[in-house]
Amino acid sequence: MSLEKLCKLIEDGDAVEAKIVTGELLNKGVDPLKMIDSLTKTMAHVGELFAKLEIFLPEIMLSGEALSAAVDVLAPYLDATGGREVKGKVVLGVVKGDLHEIGKNIVKLILETNGFIVKDLGYNVDPLIFVKEAEAMEADFIASSSLMTTTMPRQLEIIEILKSKGIRDKYKVVIGGAPTSQMWADKIGADLYCYDAKSAPELFSAALAGK
């Protein structure tokens, strides 16, 4: 059993085996921090393959699941050493009136595989639900997707509700989706606009760090 083998299992999306091998490696005394480091690199590599469509959505999904299975085994050890880094908590959904969910699903996957915890609210989601769910989860980010100019005003409504409740500054508000833009983000006072899913993890982290 080697760390390389575990990484290969993640790449192949084999959650069952990945879980077993992770346990074995821990028993052999391999450092969980070192393991998580390798696994993160593997997942970044898988992400690159997907970005170039050398692999497809079902494959990266399976890799994501295999990674989660391995991280579940590692969690107690990592928590003990303080090594389990959660980069941020996100509520994510497609705004009310909009059924275009593909982009949102990809964003979810990319964020999750990069160390964010994501609560997926689905599509056709009322602005108030975004806010309530963010409060319930104590989220860092409220991220909404809109694919139609006719549903973009719902992104503004999220911000207005936050202001009405006096909690605007508790969350970073992120927007995305084909018709949205930096200009729209500026206009409605969103904290962040992402052009695509690839760039999201880095931009989210930077926004949280206040850069």
Partner 1 sequence: MATPYRHWEILERSRTGKFLDENDFLPKVFSPTLKKLIKKYDIKYDPKTPCPSDEGMADRIWQAAWDLFRDVGYYNTDSHRIIEIADAEIKEALYMAQGQYTVGGGREARVMKHRSIEDTQPPFCIMSPDITVDEKYHQSMCMAYLKEPLLDGLCGPILEETFGHLIESGGPSEISGCIQHIQNQKMAARLLGRPGVFMVAVGTAEHDSGQIAVSNNEWGVQTTDARLVGSLTEFKTADTLLNRSLHYAQYGSFTGNLTGAIYGGWCGGSEGTAITTVAYSLIGLVIHGAMFNQHFPFHLNYGSNTTRELLWSIAMAGQALSRNSKLLYTSNGFANAGPMTEMLFRETAAHALVSTVTSWQLWEMASTRNKYRNRATPLEARLGCEVGHAVARQGMTREQANEIANRLLAKYENNAADAPMGCEYHECYNAAKAVPTVEHMDMFRRIKDEIAEMGVEFLY
Contact 162, 173 (CB under 8 A): yes
Residues in 192-211 that interact with ligand B12 by CB under 6 A: 194, 196-197, 200
82 sits near partner 1 (criterion: CB under 8 A): no
177-196 residues near partner 1, rule: CB under 8 A:
178-179
Asked if residue 76 binds partner 1 (CB under 8 A), the reply is no
**Residue written as token pair 């999306």:** 13
When CB distances are held under 5 to 8 angstroms depending on the partner's kind, the choice from ligand B12, partner 1, none that residue 80 binds is none
Give the E-state strand segments of 48-111 in sequence order.
88-94
User: Rounded distance, CA 164 to CA 156, Å?
Assistant: 12
CA distance 71 to 41: 14
The residue (of 112 and 191) whose beta carbon lies closer to partner 1 is: 112
The reply on whether position 102 binds ligand B12 by CB under 6 A is yes
154: contact with ligand B12 by CB under 6 A: no
Q: Is 176 in the site for ligand B12 (CB under 6 A)?
A: yes
In 19-171, DSSP assigns E strands to 88-94, 116-120, 141-145
Binding of ligand B12 by 174 (CB under 6 A): yes
Q: Which tokens go with 7?
A: 């990484």
Matching residue, tokens 């880094």? 85
- Between 76 and 189, whose beta carbon lies closer to partner 1? 189
The closest of 130, 110, 111, 32 to 72, measured between CA atoms, is 32
Closest distance of CB 202 from partner 1, Å:
18
143 binds ligand B12 (CB under 6 A): yes
From the list 27, 28, 29, 53, which residue makes contact with partner 1 (rule: CB under 8 A)? 53
Residue 125: C-alpha distances to residues 144, 157, 161, 162 (Å): 9, 12, 14, 16
CB of 87 to partner 1, least distance (A): 22
Is 28 in a helix, a strand, or coil?
Answer: coil
Interface residues toward partner 1, by CB under 8 A = 51, 53, 56-58, 61-62, 96-99, 101-102, 106, 120, 122, 148-151, 153, 178-179
